[in-house]
Chain A
Amino acid sequence: MSEDRLDVRKTYKLLINGAFPRSESGRSYEVTSAKGEFLANVAQGSRKDVRDAVVAARAAQSKWWAQSAYNRGQVIYRLAEMAESRRDELAEHVRLGEGLASKKAKVSVSRAIDRIVWYAGWTDKIAQILGSSNPVAGPFFNFSVPAPSGVVGVLAEQDSSLEAFVNAVLAPIAVGNTVVAVASEKRPTPAVLLGEMTATADFPAGLLNIVTGFTGEVAPTLASHEDVDGIDLTGVDEAFADELAQLAAGSIKRVLRPGPSEDASLRRLRAFVEISTVWHTIGQ
């Protein structure tokens, strides 16, 4: 085949309820590489896309949590399988977006994929770590068990386009939440690729929803939405995070503020979990 064929350009779209729509607003914006060269036209999500994503995430949450912890781990592991077979593509996007050397980009992707496997392993182990059997002065068993907060909004980190994104969305998913994530504004394409992989990874529709666009525009909608139970503010600066935390307070959401490095930390796994304590009579 001759080399002068026309490129088939890709449309980078949102992920809402298992489908890949363009933004409801019809807008898109230009994403450039770290060197300033054109990379892609990406859908610019609006508040209505966030609204639709929250509806999808809410509908998916009870079913996701009803699956066995073992099964949830398998679904997440399947995502690692999908990412593994497309790691060169991911690495290319990470390299261009973050301006890394080719080798460093590949290492970053490998770490991201390994982290997916790590979270897959946590699904049926987190209860042992966060839960407890409590001594009480009476003929009762007393257990504290972790349960998901529900629907979690994630404002993904702006610089690390894949590794941080994986951490931010898979931690709440692993413990039984569903997620509406706003990808890095300047480097959204690795997150979009990961979203495409969920479609072949047995992720139920609505489990992970990804909105690309301007974080500053959609974040207030997500933070103030009363049907969102928690929000991760990692991707915004401190002043804006204060503002969003106030909006989130209107519906008493759990709020995760930017924190230290995530390496092998349980911080995110703990962030969107509710501990419920049950009493049960002994011998009944």
Chain B
Amino acid sequence: MQLPSGSTVPAVENETQLRALLGGLSGVDAVGAEARAAKLATRSLKKSTKLAALDLAISMVDLTTLEGADTPGRVTSLCTKAMHPDPSDSGVPHVAAACVYPDLVAHARHVLGASPVKVAAVATSFPSGRASLNVKLLDVREAVSAGADEIDMVIDRGAFLSGRLGQVFDEVVAVKEACGSTHLKVILETGELVTYDNVRRASWIAMLAGADFIKTSTGKVGVNATLPTALVMLEAVRDFAETTGVVVGVKVAGGIRSAKDALRYLVVINETVGSAWLSPDRFRFGASSLLNDLLMQRLKQRRGVYVRPDEFSGD
């Protein structure tokens, strides 16, 4: 992207302009990105560093339940766990947010009360995004007025893949406007974007349109977050910050179940965008079962023996 360092986000007024901006992006070296991610994944964190990283990862979790079978009771237990992940140890940090469907936002808000845990809602006809813009915007407005602190929207992958990039951009802009001051995370659904080049382009479209976070996946398709995809998105975020001065966060979601995987992401963040992104304000894990594994490894580090998985509450 040919922009002077430290300038602001360029105004995009039409699709031609957007295409010109995206045309300035170089292609992603797929083999290189995968090799780099694989190399970084071999790095091992030990002892006090590992403990600190586990706590950090816990504080970055968006504890998620996105099932057709969700009930208020389930959301209550999710929110309780979000505030006190390990009730037997007050030293465990709370997670970043509880992530639910829009109709359960009000209930989650009620349970979380004044807790610092945020309420995140997936909106815009999650997970497919197959609805008219009006329906999507209504979805967002209802979630916001019910008390959501953060909105996770999905982009229109159909429009992106058929080349209607302007439509993707305009939708994000419209949703951002509907969000007002509410934090907006834009789900690219990288598993459906096929190539890393597409991931890079979609990342830039979302950031140019005003996303506060870009997020890999809904967790509802075959391919979820992968380390190389996260690497490509983190590079996009780094380049965007360097050229525009605007900081955007990254959320990885779907398929991250083990503490080991989570720590690998932390290593990739540190080596790609630097330690400033090692904060729940700039990086999140969208996950459900990951939290228990983080707690289990944390207890293992402290107790010195491997612990039972059923020591922690299930969903």
Q: Which residue of A lies closest to B310 (CB)?
A: A227
Interface size class of A (residues with CB under 8 A): 10 to 19
Count the B residues whose beta carbon is within 8 Å of the partner chain — how many? 7
Select A250's contact among B305, B309, B311, beta carbons within 8 Å. Answer: B305
Tell me the residues in window 17-63 of chain A with beta carbons closer than 8 Å to chain B beta carbons: 51, 54, 58
- Give the shortest distance, in Å, between A206 (CB) and chain B (any CB): 15
Kindly state whether residue A225 has any CB partner on chain B within 8 Å.
Answer: yes
Kindly state whether residue A246 has any CB partner on chain B within 8 Å.
Answer: no
Q: Which residue of A lies closest to B307 (CB)?
A: A226
Kindly state whether residue A110 has any CB partner on chain B within 8 Å.
Answer: no
CA distance A54 to B305 in the complex (A): 13
Kindly state whether residue B46 has any CB partner on chain A within 8 Å.
Answer: no
CA distance A16 to B308 in the complex (A): 19
Neighbouring B residues of A227 by C-beta, 8 Å: 306-309
Neighbouring A residues of B304 by C-beta, 8 Å: 224
- Give the shortest distance, in Å, between B55 (CB) and chain A (any CB): 21
Neighbouring A residues of B311 by C-beta, 8 Å: 226
Neighbouring B residues of A251 by C-beta, 8 Å: 305, 308
Kindly state whether residue A142 has any CB partner on chain B within 8 Å.
Answer: no
Number of A-B contacts (CB under 8 A): 23
CA distance A227 to B308 in the complex (A): 5
Neighbouring A residues of B307 by C-beta, 8 Å: 226-227
Neighbouring B residues of A58 by C-beta, 8 Å: 309
Neighbouring A residues of B308 by C-beta, 8 Å: 226-227, 251
Q: A-facing mask of B125-139, CB < 8 A → 1, else 0?
A: 000000000000000
Query: Of residues A225, A227, A247, which shows the largest number of chain B Cβ atoms within 10 Å of its Cβ?
Result: A227
Kindly state whether residue A221 has any CB partner on chain B within 8 Å.
Answer: yes
- Give the shortest distance, in Å, between B232 (CB) and chain A (any CB): 29
- Give the shortest distance, in Å, between B122 (CB) and chain A (any CB): 30
- Give the shortest distance, in Å, between B109 (CB) and chain A (any CB): 37
Q: A-facing mask of B279-314, CB < 8 A → 1, else 0?
A: 000000000000000000000000011111101000
Neighbouring A residues of B305 by C-beta, 8 Å: 221, 224-226, 247, 250-251
- Give the shortest distance, in Å, between A19 (CB) and chain B (any CB): 18
- Give the shortest distance, in Å, between B292 (CB) and chain A (any CB): 13
- Give the shortest distance, in Å, between A148 (CB) and chain B (any CB): 16
Tell me the residues in window 211-246 of chain A with beta carbons closer than 8 Å to chain B beta carbons: 221, 224-227
Q: Which residue of A lies closest to B309 (CB)?
A: A227
CA distance A207 to B309 in the complex (A): 19
CA distance A225 to B307 in the complex (A): 6
CA distance A224 to B306 in the complex (A): 7
Q: Which residue of B lies closest to A228 (CB)?
A: B306
- Give the shortest distance, in Å, between B62 (CB) and chain A (any CB): 26
Q: Which residue of B lies closest to A221 (CB)?
A: B306
Neighbouring B residues of A250 by C-beta, 8 Å: 305
Q: Which residue of A lies closest to B299 (CB)?
A: A226
Query: Of residues B304, B307, B308, B309, which shows the largest number of chain A Cβ atoms within 10 Å of its Cβ?
Result: B308
CA distance A85 to B307 in the complex (A): 41
CA distance A224 to B304 in the complex (A): 9
- Give the shortest distance, in Å, between A156 (CB) and chain B (any CB): 21
- Give the shortest distance, in Å, between A49 (CB) and chain B (any CB): 12
CA distance A221 to B303 in the complex (A): 12
Neighbouring B residues of A247 by C-beta, 8 Å: 305
Q: B-facing mask of A186-202, CB < 8 A → 1, else 0?
A: 00000000000000000
Neighbouring B residues of A221 by C-beta, 8 Å: 305-306
Neighbouring B residues of A54 by C-beta, 8 Å: 306
CA distance A224 to B308 in the complex (A): 11
- Give the shortest distance, in Å, between B111 (CB) and chain A (any CB): 31
CA distance A247 to B311 in the complex (A): 18
- Give the shortest distance, in Å, between B295 (CB) and chain A (any CB): 14
CA distance A270 to B306 in the complex (A): 26
A-B CB contact pairs (8 Å), 16 listed: A51-B306, A54-B306, A221-B306, A224-B304, A224-B305, A226-B305, A226-B306, A226-B307, A226-B308, A226-B311, A227-B307, A227-B308, A227-B309, A247-B305, A250-B305, A251-B305
The 10 A-B residue pairs with the shortest CB-CB distance, nearest first, are A224-B305, A225-B306, A227-B308, A226-B308, A226-B307, A51-B306, A226-B305, A226-B306, A225-B305, A227-B306
B→A interface (CB under 8 Å): 304-309, 311
Give 6 new A-B contacts, CB below 8 A, not counting A224-B305, A226-B305, A226-B308: A54-B306, A221-B306, A226-B306, A227-B306, A227-B307, A227-B309
